[in-house]
Structures are given as C-alpha cells and as structure tokens.
A = this chain, B = another copy of it.
C-alpha cells in the first residue's frame, strides 16, 4: 500500500495479521470528523494516521480521544505525505474541490463528505482526475449504508411495494445553520442520494420553493422531483423547526411504507394498504385495502462502520464503490437545479 518512499508519519502498512492495511489521513475534526476518525481507526484493515484541523481546540479534542494519532494544523503535511493512502475530507463543501484535487494529485484516494462539490463542473473535473490517476473517490452518503435504507432498497427491488407512486421526505430540525450553503445543500443531499439509490428511474425535472429569514440563505425549502411514469418525489427541509423530524413516506402500487429514522426499534413500517381502481373509464371506482402492518427487523450496525469497511475493501481489491464520484455528481446536479428553481420561485428546471 505504500505509495512513495518518503514517509511523514512512519506508519507500517501491515496490520498485526501481516495483512496490508490502508492509512487514512482525516482533514477536518469538527462535528462529523470524530465519527470518521473513530470508524476508520477501528477497522481491521485501516488506521487513521493523521488528523488535520485549523482549530487548535478541535485538535485538542482529537488528541484527547485518540492519543495515538498525530495531529497537525497544516493540511499540506497530510496531503503530501507519502505514507497516507486515503484523504478523508470532512470540511465545509466550498473546500472540497481544492482539497480533493490536491489529494488526488498527490496520489491519494479520496473519501469526501456530502455534498461532493459546490458545482457539477468541479465534480466532473475530480472524477476525470481520479480516473486518470486510477484512484477511488467515495462520497460519504452515509444513509445508503444504514440498515433501513438497505432494507427499503430490498423491498423495492423484490417488488414488495410494487410500482412506486411517490417518495415524500420530511427532514427538519433546529439548526445547524451553515454559512456557506442553504438548507437544501445541507439536508437534501441525504434524500437525493437515497432516492438515487432506491429509484430505478432518474428524475426529469425539479421545482424548488423556499424562503430565507435569518442569514441570507434559504432556511426553509421544499423540493418536488418529477420522475417518469407519474412517480413524484418531495423533500421538505427546514432549519427552523422546533422539533426534529426524519420521516419518509413511500407509496407503492402494492404496499406503502413509512420510514421514521428517529424510532429506536421500528424504523420501517410496511402497510398492506392501498387503493385499487376498477371499472371502465367512464365510471372509475376506487376501493381501499387496509390490512396488516409489518415492521421488519432492521440491521443496527453503525452505517459509517459498514461504509468505511466497504471503502477499504474497494481500495484493497480495486473495486468501484457505488457511491463514487459519479453518484456524488448526480446529487450536486440536483442541488444546482434546485438552487436555480428556488431563485426563480419554483420555475421548473429540466434535468
């Protein structure tokens, strides 16, 4: 795994079983960084070998939690170190492009927070660069690794829900306010990446409405996504909600589903409820079906742990992650379209 001769941190590339392992340098130790460090550091086949943050206080926290991991205030140290295989970029979105580019140019794989980049052009450039250098990019769409999302994908894939009618997500809470992006860029990437993962068809158009109240960026917003075959998506994001809600309704021809991610035990409920149409075109009859409800057991393993293991496996065995740069680009493209629609008060943007 060692990429060059020059080593900064002097870390061995073999774990105690004599296997190769992956050396991860983490840039950014704010809100989410500690989870990244913990998860890559406790994998069998990876180690965090450096943490970088501009804040002295953050580095203190890192040292306290992981006394064995070197820290630095200077990202260049980490980006240029020969004995680091992966740069994990856990910083604000406007810094992603520059940091990821430097990492790729220095021969490092990139694990980067969502959303991937600030623009589609940046995303495309990074994808091209990674391909050229034979490096991997993984965008941290953590939700795709939760037991709930994987179970829902299975339920859609095996036809349990039938043809999809709608996907309607409410993702609201108080804060965290971002200064560089609006609430859509902060919260909607979760749903956009999940929809991309769950729904076979791609959206054809987006309509976004919303309003700004405090710091000049939209803090309340509503997205509609038009899909082929009358499937419709809707995402309600809000930084000004007094209560936290993480609820998604998915309506299908055969079954309907409620995913409440805040429930400890019964995150997914599948309802044998539906509407059946009968009669001819002149006298359409609609009848309701109301049967049992069923809450399948959902795998509880921490999503980030699975995701980290998956990325390590992709690197060690040269596989292409499904949540790669292209998947990240899809989400950025939707975000850009949503921004354009939002500015024009709901004007439809074709994709």
Interface residues, chain A, CB within 8 Å of chain B? Answer: 42, 64, 67-68, 165-166, 168, 170, 172, 174-175, 177, 179, 205, 207, 209-216, 220, 222, 224, 226, 230-232, 234, 236, 238-244, 249, 251, 256-258, 262, 264-266, 269, 271-275, 277, 284, 286, 288, 290-297, 341, 345-348
Distance to closest chain B CB from A176 (angstroms):
9
Whether the Cβ atoms of A286 and B256 lie closer than 8 Å is no
Bound CA span A293–B269, Å: 9
**Interchain CB contact (< 8 A) of A345 among B209, B297, B345, B348:** B348
Bound CA span A134–B68, Å: 37
Q: Which of A214, A216, A238 has most B Cβ within 10 Å?
A: A214
30 cross-chain CB contacts under 8 A: A42-B64, A67-B67, A165-B213, A165-B220, A168-B236, A168-B238, A170-B170, A174-B275, A177-B275, A177-B286, A207-B345, A209-B224, A209-B232, A209-B234, A211-B226, A211-B230, A211-B231, A212-B230, A213-B230, A214-B284, A222-B234, A240-B251, A240-B256, A241-B249, A242-B271, A244-B264, A265-B293, A290-B297, A292-B297, A346-B348
Residues of B within 8 A of A284 (CB): 179, 214-216
**Given A207-B345, A209-B346, 4 new contacts (CB under 8 A):** A67-B67, A166-B240, A241-B251, A244-B264
Whether the Cβ atoms of A175 and B288 lie closer than 8 Å is yes
Distance to closest chain B CB from A66 (angstroms):
8
Residues of B within 8 A of A345 (CB): 205, 207, 226, 348
Whether the Cβ atoms of A286 and B251 lie closer than 8 Å is no
Residues of B within 8 A of A257 (CB): 242
Residues of B within 8 A of A251 (CB): 220, 238, 240-242
Residues of B within 8 A of A265 (CB): 243-244, 293
Q: Which of A42, A174, A243, A295 has most B Cβ within 10 Å?
A: A243
Bound CA span A251–B183, Å: 15
Residues of B within 8 A of A68 (CB): 67-68
Contact of A175 with B286 at beta-carbon distance under 8 Å, contacts A209-B207, A348-B347 already known: yes
Residues of B within 8 A of A274 (CB): 174
Q: Which residue of B lies closest to A290 (CB)?
A: B297
Residues of B within 8 A of A222 (CB): 222, 224, 234
Distance to closest chain B CB from A231 (angstroms):
7
Whether the Cβ atoms of B346 and A207 lie closer than 8 Å is yes
Whether the Cβ atoms of A215 and B256 lie closer than 8 Å is no
Contact of A291 with B297 at beta-carbon distance under 8 Å, contacts A224-B222, A236-B168, A256-B242 already known: yes
Distance to closest chain B CB from A29 (angstroms):
16
**Interchain CB contact (< 8 A) of A275 among B209, B214, B243:** B214
Residues of B within 8 A of A297 (CB): 272, 290-292
Whether the Cβ atoms of A292 and B296 lie closer than 8 Å is yes
Residues of B within 8 A of A347 (CB): 346-348
Bound CA span A27–B291, Å: 34
Residues of B within 8 A of A272 (CB): 297
**Interchain CB contact (< 8 A) of A294 among B211, B238, B295:** B295
Bound CA span A277–B291, Å: 35
Residues of B within 8 A of A238 (CB): 166, 168, 249, 251
